[in-house]
Amino acid sequence: MKQRRSLDVFAWTVVVGGGGFLLFMTPLRHISWPEAIVMIAFLLAAEIGHIPLPRGGGYVSVGFALLFGVGLIYGPEVAAWLGALGTINLDEFTGKVPLRGLLFNRAQLALSAGLAAVAYQGIGGIPGSLDYRRDAAAIAAAALVYYLLNAGLVMIYVSLLKGMPVRDQWAVNFRWSAPNYLLQVPIAVVLAALYQSIGVLAIFFIIAPLLVTRHNLQRFIDRRQVFMRTIRTLGAILEAKDPYTKGHSDRVGRYAGAIVRRLGMREEWAERVELAGILHDLGKLGVRQRVLNKKGRLESEELAEMRLHPAYGAEIIRHAGLLGEGYRWIRHHHERLDGEGYPEGLEGDRIPLESRVILVADAFDAMTTNRSYRDAFGYERAVAELRKHAGTQFAPELVEAMVGLTKDFSPIAPVAEGDGR
Ligand SMILES: [Fe+2]
């Protein structure tokens, strides 16, 4: 509720700020109606090709180059108004975006485009009369103002909307968008320069490269989506073969990700550890069903077969090229600190940190959920077990990170589970 109120306060403050800013602007002193219509048409066309961010809640548009160019050509008044009017996209009218979001977008774009042009003029840039050498600093300052306002305001909005820390939003959705802005700045500059000699026609020469930019960006996003779908499909295939792992892989992934976040690792890395956690037992696909689903003790050669699963899993992931070097984390997720684990009997720090994290997450989840041969331990007993084997099996600091993480623990959907062997 509190978060909802903060979102409202934030969004409406920006709306009032942007609206007030627009009231002081008189764009038609600087642009004719026909030119304004052409510019708006092209801006809207660029918006149609906007690209949703991977985790939802925002998008990147190639309209930046055009809008930024408008600021260099016509100055803040026109940039602010075209920022507000020329950036509407269809989603905003299909009921998917609430009025608050629609007005927030208009206001933040008016402020970003308008104030960027104000910065440009403030450092000596003259709208409509661009000189590369004289105006380099002014262009850089304007681009920075635009990016900081645009990305910053949207990032805060989405963080409040999703209840996700701004830092994570930055890592997942915005850090990679910075080069996209940067690459569009030269396009805007060329647009402004060309405009000086051929007028509004310049915009036609700029559209083609913009579409190429858009296309490449779309391919990047598509690749990421295919990647995530592949990971989930692999998880589902394993669950089909070994129903006892249902939910287990997913939780191990989430615990492992949360542990490394707690250790202060970069979000990108944490996400990769989470995926490795989800896939840690994938190699069980290579273990015979009879052995995998056997109730009770395994014979020694069955145990040997079972113990091949980390190496199998690592090989699949390595061949698929899914997690980069992360395949090693899967290979070593049953190594013990004292060197008594498998497959290589690595000791202490020679075991990748990520593998040690997955081991603790795996053990914790195995103990706090029902197994085919025993009921779940209570939380206290699971913690006592982890601590008892800290230093021999588990890394003590990771055990404590796991405990800290789950202080207010209640098991996530306890169902019958595999035994993590
Ligand atoms: Fe395993």
Which tens digit of pLDDT belongs to each residue from 240-263? 887 777 788 889 999 999 999 989
d(CA 416, CA 331): 25
Structure tokens at 129: 């009369």
pLDDT at residue 419, rounded to an integer: 41
Structure tokens at 139: 């262009």
What is the CATH architecture assignment of 2-225?
Answer: Orthogonal Bundle (1.10)
pLDDT at residue 289, rounded to an integer: 85
Ligand 1 centroid from CA 362, angstroms: 8
Ligand 1 centroid from CA 357, angstroms: 13
Ligand 1 centroid from CA 12, angstroms: 50
pLDDT at residue 334, rounded to an integer: 96
φ/ψ of residue 394, rounded to 5: -105, 155
Which tens digit of pLDDT belongs to each residue from 168-192? 777 776 777 777 778 788 888 888 8
Ligand 1 centroid from CA 289, angstroms: 15
Structure tokens at 178: 């910075």
Amino acid making up residue 303: L
Which tens digit of pLDDT belongs to each residue from 307-339? 999 999 999 999 888 888 999 999 999 999 999
Q: What is the DSSP letter of 326?
A: G
First to last CA, the chain: 43
Averaged pLDDT, 359-366: 94
Ligand 1 centroid from CA 318, angstroms: 17
Ligand 1 centroid from CA 194, angstroms: 62
Which tens digit of pLDDT belongs to each residue from 262-289? 898 888 889 899 999 999 999 998 888 8
For the cut 50, the answer to whether the pLDDT of residue 216 exceeds it is yes
Ligand 1 centroid from CA 118, angstroms: 59
Which tens digit of pLDDT belongs to each residue from 289-310? 888 888 788 888 999 999 999 9
Ligand 1 centroid from CA 351, angstroms: 15
3-state secondary structure of 59: strand
Q: How many CB atoms lie within 10 A of CB 182?
A: 11
Outline which parts of the chain fall under CATH 1.10.3210.10: 242-405
Ligand 1 centroid from CA 333, angstroms: 7
Ligand 1 centroid from CA 6, angstroms: 43
Ligand 1 centroid from CA 243, angstroms: 15
Ligand 1 centroid from CA 400, angstroms: 21
Structure tokens at 55: 């985790």
CA-wise closest residue to 417 among 209, 261, 274, 243: 243
Ligand 1 centroid from CA 306, angstroms: 9
Ligand 1 centroid from CA 418, angstroms: 10
pLDDT at residue 416, rounded to an integer: 40
Q: Which CATH number fits domain 242-405: 1.10.3720.10, 1.10.3210.10, 1.10.1740.10, 3.40.50.2020?
A: 1.10.3210.10
Which tens digit of pLDDT belongs to each residue from 369-421? 876 666 778 888 899 999 999 999 999 999 999 998 887 666 554 444 444 44
Outline which parts of the chain fall under CATH 1.10.1760.20: 2-225
Which tens digit of pLDDT belongs to each residue from 33-71? 888 888 888 788 777 666 666 555 455 666 888 889 989
pLDDT at residue 208, rounded to an integer: 60
Helices 2-23 & 132-162, crossing angle to 10 degrees?
Answer: 150
